[in-house]
Amino acid sequence: MTGPGDEGAIAAFLAMLAAERGAAVNTLAAYRRDLAGAGDLIGSLVMADRAALAQLGEAWRDLAPASLARKASALRQFYGFLVDEGWRGDDPGDALPRLRPRRSLPRLLSHAEITALFALAEADAGTGDPTALRMLALIELLYGSGLRATELVSLALSAVPRDAPFLTITGKGGQQRLVPVGKRAGAALRGWLRVRPAGGRHVFPSPRGGHLSRVRLFQLLRDLALRAGLDPEKVSPHVLRHAFATHLLEGGADLRVLQTLLGHADIATTQIYTHVDGARLVALVNQRHPLARES
């Protein structure tokens, strides 16, 4: 069977990822860049043999391990797709370099640092200033509900029900999940909605239209951290999401529940948080295991 050229094959591969796996726009763009970059190095990907792919290991030798693993994974999936479609009779993907990147541990904020951050935000909000009320709502939802930065800034008014303590969140790959909103976060959110400028469809609108940007959220959070006496380099929306997960796990949350709350498709992604609570896990085994109780 005669297959398409590189451009057609890549377009078909990306269409499959979007339709069958729900790949997000950013993920598709990254795959397109990786495949195009490989093609620039070795020529036609559709026609490439194992010797050509082996050359990529040398060309990529200076890349960070995570970047190398991502590029190789994109190509392996691409060649698997070509074989499945009958556009190639062999899969040369085994010639690609294999390197499992070490997963970086999330930066953490202590309970004391969280307390300092929220004490300042609450004091600011106590003045009734709309900007301060918005800031309190933002950090309450980051730390209290574990939202991703994009999920937070793009949160639609329609996703905030009046009579249920849940938000309807559209996460990566367009997957929807219900996220509980605690009493503190709910109170902060209601306080902001009372003074929120009219118009628009987002909970956190931008004066220029649309919604608050991720960059602006990052800036606001670092400014708050600096005024609270914290190292602003340690504080970001993602760090507050990590703190949400870490502190819930410390409090006894089940890993599967945490997976659902965070919107992780794979439990392996959630398991990165288990390193932060090793002492509790050891104590749990010592207290609950039948043989431990007998001894």
Active site residue 264: yes
Using CA atoms, how far residue 265 sits from 23, 132, 177, 260, 280, in Å, is 12, 34, 11, 8, 25
CA distance 144 to 219: 20
125, 136 Cβ separation under 8 angstroms: yes
At position 17, the amino acid (one-letter code) is L
Q: Which of 148, 202, 211, 247 is catalytic?
A: 148
Q: Which of 196, 211, 241, 242 is catalytic?
A: 241
Active site residue 143: no
At position 116, the amino acid (one-letter code) is A
Active site residue 107: no
Q: Which of 32, 76, 238, 280 is catalytic?
A: 238
117, 230 Cβ separation under 8 angstroms: yes
92, 79 Cβ separation under 8 angstroms: yes
Q: Which of 31, 79, 143, 273 is catalytic?
A: 273
Compute CA 30 distance to the chain's CA centroid, rounded to the nearest angstrom.
Answer: 15
Active site residue 183: no
Q: Which of 70, 76, 172, 184 is catalytic?
A: 172
Q: Which of 70, 214, 264, 280 is catalytic?
A: 264
Active site residue 211: no
Catalytic residues: 148, 172, 238, 241, 264, 273
